[in-house]
Amino acid sequence: MHIVDGSSQWRSDALTKVLFGPAGYPSEARGNVKRVFSILHEAGLDAFEYAAVHGLRTKERKAEEIGDFAKKFKISMSMHSAYYISLASKTPRIRETSKERLVKALRFAPLMRVKRVVFHPGFPGGLSEDEAHMVIRDALRDVWEVAGDSGGGAVLAPEIAGKLSAYGSVDQIIRLCQEVDGCIPTIDWAHLYARSQGEINDHDGYRKVLTHFEDELGELFISNMHFHISGITFTDKGEATHQPLGQEWGPDILPLIEVVRECGYKPTFISESTNPLQGALYAKFLFDELEKE
């Protein structure tokens, strides 16, 4: 195994409190960058995941502006890289383009004060599970070798996948983080709920998953927890559509927040619900109510 050393530079930004924020600009901001961060600050939120899901098209000057506002309003930044990354694609050019997208994200990270570059590794591309793992692992090692030092402390954060056919099970993500420098997991609880066909949805289920990550990754995981939350619908193939939090759709995140408090974890909760700002406020409300008890 290639487990990351505890002295690595990118470990230095370990979280000291639970953070909450949305993925993507709030619709109320209408694309006004200053207003984005003003809304987050006014709402009492302290995290934001920049959505580069259709490619990182931001110019350097705009990226620096985002970073300046993040600093001013004390917002912890992450970035979701392009949806169409496919590190094990059957097409060599797509593999190379996918790596290039991650390299660019790492190089833009210091400008935007981004500390986590979230991404989906993609589908196996007709390879066996072990073959796909090796191709994806080696691609990420290449990315880290090229751009890890230019990320300003940013890390790669591969995400649990919602589709059963996609690369991104709990064990696959853990294995990547064990074998690639600069990798921490992103646990998307809605995806995991869909992937488990609704089974991971209560106190015991959440605790087992978190314990498994902690047992396998230790302090690397504990100090760098990054969670996605949302309601979701699913089929026997996994994820179908994201839905609002706190309504009739699972997963129920209250038991998750209870486990976080009981264990003293300090994750960042990023809402990817259909109204991300509302979802982030809902999660923060649950946490704050438990803190009053």
Identify whether the C-beta of residue 106 lies closer than 8 Å to the C-beta of residue 150. yes
At residue 104, φ and ψ (nearest 5 deg) are -60, -40
What mean pLDDT comes out for the span 97-105?
Answer: 97
107's tokens: 């190089």
pLDDT digits (tens, 9 = 90+) for 81-95: 999 899 999 999 999
Q: Give CA–CA dist 116/15, Å, rounded.
A: 12
DSSP 144-209: HHHHGGGGTT-EEEEB--SBTTSB--HHHHHHHHHHSTTB--EEEHHHHHHHTTT---SHHHHHHH
Q: Give CA–CA dist 174/220, Å, rounded.
A: 11
For residues 29 and 191, which has the higher predicted lDDT (pLDDT)?
191
Q: Give CA–CA dist 222/246, Å, rounded.
A: 26
Q: Determine which helix (DSSP H) or strand (DSSP E) holds 211, and give its type and residue range.
A: helix 203-217
**Exposure class string for 52-65: b at 16+ Cβ within 10 A, else e:** bbeebebeeeebbb
- Topology classification of domain 9-292: TIM Barrel (3.20.20)
Q: Please calculate the CA angle 133-207-212 and round it to the nearest 5 degrees.
A: 30
At residue 38, φ and ψ (nearest 5 deg) are -65, -45
Could you give the percent of the chain with pLDDT greater than 70?
A: 95
pLDDT for res 8: 39
What mean pLDDT comes out for the span 108-114?
Answer: 98
pLDDT for res 13: 52
pLDDT digits (tens, 9 = 90+) for 246-286: 889 999 999 999 999 999 999 999 999 999 999 999 999 99
pTM for this one? 0.94
What mean pLDDT comes out for the span 95-105?
Answer: 97
What is the C-alpha R_g of the chain?
A: 18
pLDDT for res 14: 55
What pLDDT band is residue 1 in, cutting at 50, 70 and 90? very low
What pLDDT band is residue 113 in, cutting at 50, 70 and 90? very high
pLDDT for res 9: 39
- Mention every residue, 6+ apart, whose C-beta is less than 8 A from residue 42: none
Could you give the percent of the chain with pLDDT greater than 90?
A: 90
